[in-house]
Amino acid sequence: MTFDSRAIARSMPRPARLGVLISGGGRTLCTIHDAIAQSKLDASIELVVASRPCRGVERARERGLPAVVEPGRIPRDRLADILKDAGVDLVALAGYLQLVEIPEGFEQRIVNIHPALLPRFGGPGFYGDRVHRAVLESGSKISGCTVHLCDEQYDHGPIILQRTCPVLPADTVDTLAARVFALEKQAYVSALQLLVGPGVGHKRRPACA
């Protein structure tokens, strides 16, 4: 499957209405929301969906964002209803650990960021510290992150962009994860802006810790 980011952007309402799916602390959600507040992303967050109760739900509500918990994998029809009821145009997976069943009308409208370079370090079980541990154990000298459109396989679909960083001899899982996350914060906003097109974001409340 190929994609044309300009064609997606031309079809996207502005500001784009985002749905953000999370499973954990919500750091990437905060990154996206901060970019909107700083007029770096022409979008609004209309809904946050979590696969379990988590710190990310609290962070969303602290920022005045509507957040709901939908445990486990969401059936296709149920996800369609959730997104359409919120008026969502584009979905951003932000540390979401469930496989997404893509609803009709959301093909090439669901985006994921992965904390390694795909396709080598991806697939079922490659999430969190497991990804960075696999990179270190492989002896790779380079890591990074990948933003891609989703299909119905884990960590699979057309790549929008990648960013790279060195793997240092003294790296631990934690130090490599921190270096990659710094890249993720820039890469996800850049990729989303490619898909929503140029414009000026709406001001929102600033970052939380």
Residue 16 one-letter amino acid:
A
The token pair that represents 150 in the structure block: 């989703």
Q: Which residues are catalytic?
A: 114
Query: Which residue in 150, 174, 38, 131 sits closest to 93, CA to CA?
Result: 150
CB 99 within 8 A of CB 73: yes
- Distance in angstroms between the alpha carbons of the first and the last residue of the chain: 38
CA 73/CA 98 separation, integer angstroms: 6
Rg, the chain, Cα only: 16
